[in-house]
Amino acid sequence: MSVPIKISSSVAASTSPSAGSPLHDLYTRRRAAESQGIRPSRVLQPLENEGLRLLILENISQEAVATFRSQGYHVDHYTKAFSEDELVEKISSYHGIGIRSKTKITQRVLKAASKLLVIGCFCIGTNQVDLEAAAQAGIPVFNSPFSNSRSVAELVISELISLSRQLFDRAYELKTGVWNKQSKNCWEIRGKTLGIVGYGHIGSQLSVLAEAFGMRVIFYDVLNIMPIGSARQVETLEALLNESDFVTLHVPELPETINMISTEQLAQMKKGAYLINNARGKVVDIPALIEAIKSKHIAGTAIDVFPHEPGANGDAFDDQLNPWASELRALPNVILTPHIGGSTEEAQRMIGQEVSQYVARYLGYGSTIGAVNFPEVDLRAITAGQDTEIRVCHIHRNQPGVLKQVNDALSPYNVEKQYSDSKGEIAYVMADIADVSPADMTRLKERISNTDSNILTRFLT
């Protein structure tokens, strides 16, 4: 969803700047819009009004690029990832960068990024960015951790049916020229019990879909969560394992979830049950699972995530990578997929929309809601009729006395609203102040920027 360009409906005389100045240009554009009958609330612009330039890499969705262009940003769009050297050479002229997982934003890149304000990771993870160094440089990093929940939930539904019908083995046999029609140990999923471990974004969506197929749904989560539909929360993992015909894992990788399904837990599962893991590779002890399948206690498994995964398409998935790989591959009714749970066109589009919106909201309004390395701060919008208000966005080191200095500087003006928060060594204060003349703005910005703890100060008007 793109952020619409909003133009002020009126301009107060007290802030009318001289012709030819950036503010004058801005107000002229606002008046032109007003004369065409456009009366939405105010969009903010950096005080310097310098054209913001974005570097968008790794073939990020065209919708995201269109969103940025519609906000008036200059966008350079490349399909490939940049190497560290290429980034160091080019990044100094950009205010924002959009990447996926292949472009690495290292400390060296950040040192060269003298104008960089924001990093958008158009993917789930943010390991490719030195988050700490970015925060120290006053650069929030945004990602989209939950855009692919539905895609994962749908894949699990397909795996429930594929496992219970031994679909992959039958299909593989016929593709190799063998006709092997079977009904023994093939089941409908209707009426069976699905046990969901982790009832978060994915687990809860799956719950709804599974009930539509006539399954009974139970779930186990460390939190008490309101069940959706007729699902029921159980008290312990063991209770879930005892009762379920299918167990599906949707927990994060944490010290307490590593190997949470091992020999003991597999023994607690019903004989002939199935195990599905689309969560994280280390959540299942795979050698223990191999033994449980060999002994026919577990009737099949679908695994999308592995402790060690190949770095690129075409790389081998073999015993060098994971010592049990060939043994697992050779077992019956085992579905192995290359971490594709969230890999759909829809998920990519959602990621593009969500991250581009975060980036645009930060550049245009200063909001850090959704940032992974930064305190999350936002203020409600400055609306039409509040045209003399400006927004102060001050990123600083988290140390005593900063707010006193900032508030001393702001004290001659009416502070309409203000919010401050910190995360580790970084703190961020946003304040909307009224009735500031253009000359005052420049002086005020200099004063706040020159405080000891200043990392970055932006004024939006």
Ligand X SMILES: NC(=O)c1ccc[n+]([C@@H]2O[C@H](COP(=O)([O-])OP(=O)(O)OC[C@H]3O[C@@H](n4cnc5c(N)ncnc54)[C@H](O)[C@@H]3O)[C@@H](O)[C@H]2O)c1
Which parts of this chain interact with ligand X (CB under 6 A)? 124, 146, 148-149, 152, 197-203, 220-223, 250-254, 256-257, 278-280, 304-305, 339, 341-342
Residue 207 phi, psi dihedral angles, 5° rounding:
-55, -45
Considering beta carbons, is residue 235 or 256 the nearer one to ligand X?
A: 256
Considering beta carbons, is residue 250 or 396 the nearer one to ligand X?
A: 250
Least spacing, CB of residue 305 vs ligand X, in Å = 5
Least spacing, CB of residue 228 vs ligand X, in Å = 13
Least spacing, CB of residue 306 vs ligand X, in Å = 10
d(CA 55, CA 94): 6
8 A C-beta contact, residue 100 and residue 61: no
| 280 is an active site residue | yes
Q: Identify which of 279, 124, 255, 271 has the alpha carbon closest to the alpha carbon of residue 197.
A: 279
Identify the active-site residue in 339, 349, 397, 447: 339
Identify the active-site residue in 309, 346, 425, 446: 309
d(CA 334, CA 162): 10
Q: Please, is 439 exposed, middle or buried when counting C-beta atoms within 10 Å of its C-beta (0-12, 13-18, 19+)?
A: exposed
Least spacing, CB of residue 423 vs ligand X, in Å = 19
| 354 is an active site residue | no
C-alpha distance from residue 180 to each of 167, 169, 302 (Å): 11, 10, 22
Least spacing, CB of residue 204 vs ligand X, in Å = 8
Considering beta carbons, is residue 276 or 360 the nearer one to ligand X?
A: 276
Q: Using alpha carbons only, what angle is made at residue 74 by residues 125 and 114, rounded to the nearest 5 degrees?
A: 65
Q: Identify which of 386, 406, 387, 408 has the alpha carbon closest to the alpha carbon of residue 396.
A: 406
What's the sign of the alpha-carbon dihedral 150, 151, 152, 158? positive
Determine the residue with CB nearest ligand X: 200
Identify the active-site residue in 30, 216, 280, 391: 280
Considering beta carbons, is residue 202 or 359 the nearer one to ligand X?
A: 202
End-to-end CA distance of the chain: 24
Least spacing, CB of residue 148 vs ligand X, in Å = 5
Residue 238: in which H helix or E strand, if any?
helix 237-243
Considering beta carbons, is residue 123 or 448 the nearer one to ligand X?
A: 123
d(CA 386, CA 133): 37
Considering beta carbons, is residue 236 or 399 the nearer one to ligand X?
A: 236
Active-site residue set: 280, 309, 339
